[in-house]
Structure 1
C-alpha cells in the first residue's frame, strides 16, 4: 500500500469529485483513478460509489477514509518532527559538570541558550571530574565538563577555561602575609585534600611531588565547604582553583598565589569521539564554542 494511494483517495472523498481532486493534487485524473482502483484491489473492497454525480463513500470506504486521514496526519507529524529536530527546534541533551564549574561558567550561557532554543531541554547532573569522564565514556550522558587532561583517543575536547591553583590558609597563618609562595614552603604543613574521586586530589598530590615532597594529608573530603571551614579553623591548608578561592565567603581564609611550580587547572567540554551526537547536542556544543568567554 502506497501512502499516495491514501492521499488521492482522501482528496477524492473530500471533493466528492475526481476532477476537483485532480486540480487540487495537480495530478491527472486517470492517474488518480488508477491509484484508487489499485487500492480497492489490494483491500478487496469497493471504496467509492461512482454511480451518482457526486462520488460517495461506501461503508468500507468510510472506514478506510477515517484510518487514512489518521495515517496521513501521522506522516505529516513525523515529517514535521524530523524537520524540527534537524533544524534544532527541539531535542534533549544530558550533561555532567563539576559543581563549581556550573556556578562559574554556565548560568548566563544556559539562560541565553534557552532563549534561542526554547524547545531543547538540557538535563544537568553534578559529578566529580573522574565521574564525568566515566559517565561520558559509558554513554549515560551526552557530554560533560571536566578537568584536562583526558584520554584523547576516546574523547573530543572543547577548551573552556584555564586558571591556576592557589594555597588557602587561615588568615593568621605564617604564610598569609606573603604575596606569593613556592609550594615547597608548605612541605611541613598538614593538607586538607579532596577525596580521591576528585581530579583535584591527583593534581594537588602531583604538584607537591613536583615541588619535591610528599604532602602530609590530615583529612580528605568531598565537600567544598568543609575544606574551607577546616582551613579556617587551622586544621590545615589546601590547594584549590583560584576561582573557588575568590568565592569563599570567609574572612578567616586567605589565598596565596603559587610562584613555583605552575599548576594548571584547565576545564574542557568532552564527548565521545565514536558516539553519534544528536542535532540538539551538536547545537549546544556549537553554541558553547561561539559564546563562552575563554579565559586563558
Structure 2
C-alpha cells in the first residue's frame, strides 16, 4: 500500500482539499485523485465522497482513518529513530569487551568520548574469552575491545596498548620483599588462576612453561577480583594485569613486576569488515584508536 496515498488521504480527511494537497506535494490534481482511487481499491471500500465541492469521509473512511493515523504516527517515529541512529552525533554504539578491561579501560574511554559526544548512547556487553569475535559482530556488536586478536577476514583488528603482567602475593609472603621477580622464582608456589577457557589463564600457563615449570593450581575463578581476594587470604599467588593493581586496592596484596620478556598482554580493538559501521560507532572507533596513540 502506497504510504504517500495514505498521507494524502489523511490530509483530505482532515479538511485539506485535493488542490491544496497537489500544490503542497508538487503534483498534479489528477495524480492525487488517481492515488486516492487506487487506495480505495486496495482497501475495498469507498473512503471519500463528494458533498458539493468538498470531499468528506464515508463511514468506512472514518473507521480506516483511525488506523491510518496510528500507522503513520508509528512510521514517522520509526523514521525519526532511524535518522537519530544514523546521525553521527546520536545513536547507540554496542560494545563487547573482555571482563578484565571493565574496571579501568572501558570507563576511561567512555568518559573521554562522552565529554565530546554526550548524546551518543552505549550498550555494554561483557564477554567471555571463548566467544568468537565473528559471532559477536554478527550478533550485533559494533566494537570489540579484548586481549585476543583472532585471524579472520571478517574482522579488522588494531592493537591499542601493551599491558604488563604482575605477580600478586600476600604482603607477608617472602617474595613480597622484592620489587621485581623472575617467574621461575615462584615455581614452588601455589597459584590461583582463572579457568582454562580464559586468555589470562592461557598466558599464565605459557609464562610458567617458558620459565621451566607447570604451575600448581590451588584455586580457579572467573574474574581477577576473585583471584586477588584469594591472594589477600594467603591462598596462593596470581599473575594479574598491571592496571588491576591501580584500581583494585588491597592493602594485604603486593604486586611484583615480572622480568620475564613475555609478561604482558596486548589490548586490541576489533570491528566487522563485512558491514559498514554506523556513524556513531565509527566516531567511537576513531576516538579509541586516537586515545591509544596519544597514550603510547
TM-score by structure 2 length?
Answer: 0.77
Residue of structure 2 equivalent to 1:148: 148
Partner of 1:200: 200
Q: Distance in 2 between matches of 1:153 and 1:262?
A: 27
1:1-296 mapped onto 2 (5 Å cutoff)? 1-15=1-15, 17-40=17-40, 43=43, 45-87=45-87, 89-91=90-92, 93=94, 95-98=96-99, 100-111=100-111, 113=113, 116=117, 118=119, 120-125=121-126, 127-131=127-131, 136=136, 139=139, 143-153=143-153, 155-232=155-232, 234-271=234-271, 273=273, 281-282=281-282, 284-291=284-291, 295-296=295-296
CA distance in 2, matches of 1:69, 1:235: 67
Q: For the residues of structure 1 that align with 2:9 and 2:240, how far apart are their CA atoms?
A: 71
Paired residue secondary structure (1:262): coil
**Could you tell me how far apart the structure 2 residues matched to 1:40 and 1:237 are?**
78
| Deviation sequence 1:102-124 (CA, Å, 0-9, x none) | 11112243345557354634143
When the two chains are superposed, the root-mean-square deviation of aligned CA atoms in Å is 3.6
**Aligned 8 A contact 2:49 2:56 in 1:** yes
> Computing the radius of gyration over CA atoms, which structure comes out larger, 1 or 2?
1
Q: Distance in 2 between matches of 1:57 and 1:209?
A: 83
Give the deviation of 1:203 after TM superposition: 0.8
**1:208-266 deviations in Å (ceiling 9; x for gaps):** 22123333334433353453354445544322222223345334432222223331212
Structure 1 residues 207 and 12, CA gap change in structure 2 (3 angstroms): same
Q: From the superposition, tell whether residues 132 and 117 of structure 1 become closer, same or farther in structure 2 (CA, over 3 Å).
A: farther
Distance (whole Å) between structure 2 residues aligned to residue 137 and residue 55 of structure 1: 53
Paired residues of 2:164 and 2:264 also in contact (CA < 8 A): yes
Alpha-carbon distance in structure 1 between the residues aligned to 2:154 and 2:44: 57
Q: Which moved more, 1:255-264 or 1:116-125?
A: 116-125
Q: C-alpha separation between the residues in 2 aligned to 1:28 and 1:140? A: 45
Distance in 2 separating the partners of 1:155 and 1:183 = 34
Residue 130 of structure 1: SS of its match in structure 2?
coil
Q: Given the superposition, is the C-alpha separation of residues 109 and 41 from structure 1 closer, same or farther in structure 2, using an over 3 Å criterion?
A: same
* Worse-matched range after superposition: 284-293 or 190-199: 284-293
Distance 1:18 1:225 in 2: 70
Distance 1:226 1:49 in 2: 75
Change in 2 beyond 3 A, CA 1:171/1:18: closer
Contact conserved, 2:94 with 2:140, CA < 8 A, in 1? no
Question: How big is the shift at 1:157?
Answer: 2.6
State the alpha-carbon separation in 2 of the partners of residues 35 and 266 from structure 1. 62
Contact 1:132 1:146 in 2 (8 A): no
* Structure 1: tracts of 5 or more residues without a match: none
Structure 1 SS opposite 2:53:
coil
Q: Is this contact kept in 2: 1:195–1:221, CA < 8 A?
A: yes
Q: Residues 160, 12 of structure 1: CA spacing in aligned structure 2 closer, same or farther, 3 A cutoff?
A: same
Taking structure 1 as reference, are residues 188 and 24 closer, same or farther at Cα in structure 2, changes over 3 Å only?
closer
